[in-house]
C-alpha cells in the first residue's frame, strides 16, 4: 500500500473539512431517503434514485478524483466507475418501477409476499445502517469524529445504502444498480484489510446481506406475477 491506515483516515478528515457543505448535503440526502422510503410510491423512489445518482457523481469527482487519486493511481478508475454508477441511478429514476415496490396493497398480501416483506425489511435495514450506524461503528472503532464516513459523501456507506435500495426494487434494478457498489465494497474491504483497518469485513458482509435481500425480492416478484396472472385468468 502506498500509505498507512493513519494517512488514509487523515485523508477522510481533510476531505470532510474541505468539502463540508457537500458532506452536510449528503447527510441531508440520507435522512430524506429514510423518510421517503417509509412509504413506497413511484415519485418517492424516483427522487431517492436521482438523489443517490447525484451523490455518486459528487463522490466520483470530490473524493475519488480530487482526494484519493493523488495518492492512489486506481482513484481515477474508481472515479470513472462512480460516474458510471451515477448515470445508471439517474437512468433508473426514469425507468418504469416494478409493481411490488409502488403498490402497498400487494405488499400487504402475506400469503404472497412474506418473503418479499422480509427482503424489504433487510433492504431498509441496510439503508438505515449506512445512514445512521456506519459512522457510529467507525467512531466506536476509534476513528476521529471529524473523519467519519458519512452517507452521501463517503464512498462505502453510500455504496451500502445503494445496495439496500437496489435489492428491494426487483431483479431488473438489482442487475442494473448492484454490480458497481458490490465491486466497490469488495475493493473497500481489501483496502481496509491491507491497511490493517478493524472494520474491513463490514463492506463484504454488506454485499452478502444485499444479495440475500435481492434474492428474497426476486422470489416475491415471481410469486406476485403468478398471483396476478391467476386473478386475470
- How large is the average pLDDT for residues 99-103? 45
Contact 189, 203 (CB under 8 A): yes
pTM recorded for the entire structure: 0.90
pLDDT band at 112 (very low <50, low <70, confident <90, very high): very low
Cβ atoms of 98 and 172 within 8 Å: the answer is yes
Domain edges within the chain? 5-232
Supply the pLDDT for residue 215.
Answer: 87
| Contact in structure between 167 and 187 (CB atoms under 8 Å) | no
Cβ neighbours for 183, distance < 8 A, ≥ 6 positions apart: 81
Does position 89 have pLDDT exceeding 60, yes or no? Answer: yes
- Cell numbers for 46, please give them: 424516483
Q: What is the pLDDT of residues 175-232, one digit of tens each?
A: 899 999 999 999 999 999 999 999 999 999 999 999 999 888 777 655 555 554 554 4
- Residue 38's contacts (CB-CB under 8 Å, 6 or more residues apart) are none
pLDDT(145) > 60: yes
pLDDT at res. 216: 84
- How would residue 111 be classed by pLDDT, with cut points 50, 70 and 90? very low
The chain-wide mean pLDDT, for the chain, equals 87
Q: What angle do CA 217, 85, 169 make, to 5 degrees?
A: 15
pLDDT digit string, tens, across residues 38-65: 887 888 999 999 999 999 999 999 999 9
Torsion of CA 136, 140, 142, 148, to 10 degrees: 0
Quote the pLDDT of residue 205: 97
Amino acid at each position: 500500500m502506498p500509505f498507512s491506515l493513519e494517512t488514509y483516515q487523515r485523508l477522510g478528515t481533510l476531505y470532510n473539512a474541505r468539502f463540508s457543505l457537500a458532506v452536510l448535503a449528503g447527510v441531508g440526502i440520507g435522512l430524506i431517503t429514510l423518510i421517503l422510503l417509509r412509504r413506497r410510491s413511484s415519485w418517492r423512489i424516483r427522487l431517492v434514485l436521482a438523489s443517490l445518482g447525484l451523490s455518486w457523481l459528487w463522490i466520483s469527482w470530490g473524493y475519488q478524483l480530487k482526494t484519493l487519486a493523488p495518492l492512489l493511481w486506481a482513484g481515477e478508475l474508481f472515479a470513472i466507475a462512480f460516474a458510471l454508477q451515477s448515470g445508471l441511478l439517474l437512468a433508473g429514476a426514469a425507468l418504469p418501477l416494478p409493481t411490488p415496490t409502488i403498490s402497498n396493497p400487494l405488499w400487504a398480501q402475506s400469503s404472497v409476499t412474506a418473503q418479499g416483506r422480509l427482503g424489504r425489511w433487510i433492504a431498509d435495514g441496510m439503508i438505515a445502517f449506512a445512514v445512521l450506524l456506519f459512522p457510529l461503528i467507525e467512531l466506536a472503532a476509534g476513528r476521529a469524529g471529524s473523519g467519519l464516513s458519512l452517507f452521501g459523501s463517503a464512498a462505502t456507506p453510500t455504496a451500502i445504502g445503494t445496495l439496500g435500495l437496489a435489492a428491494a426494487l426487483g431483479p431488473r434494478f438489482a442487475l442494473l444498480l448492484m454490480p458497481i457498489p458490490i465491486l466497490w465494497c469488495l475493493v473497500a474491504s481489501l483496502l481496509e484489510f491491507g491497511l490493517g483497518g478493524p472494520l474491513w469485513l463490514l463492506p463484504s458482509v454488506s454485499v452478502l446481506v444485499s444479495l440475500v435481500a435481492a434474492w428474497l425480492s426476486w422470489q416475491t416478484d415471481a410469486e406476485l406475477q403468478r398471483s396476478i396472472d391467476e386473478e386475470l385468468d
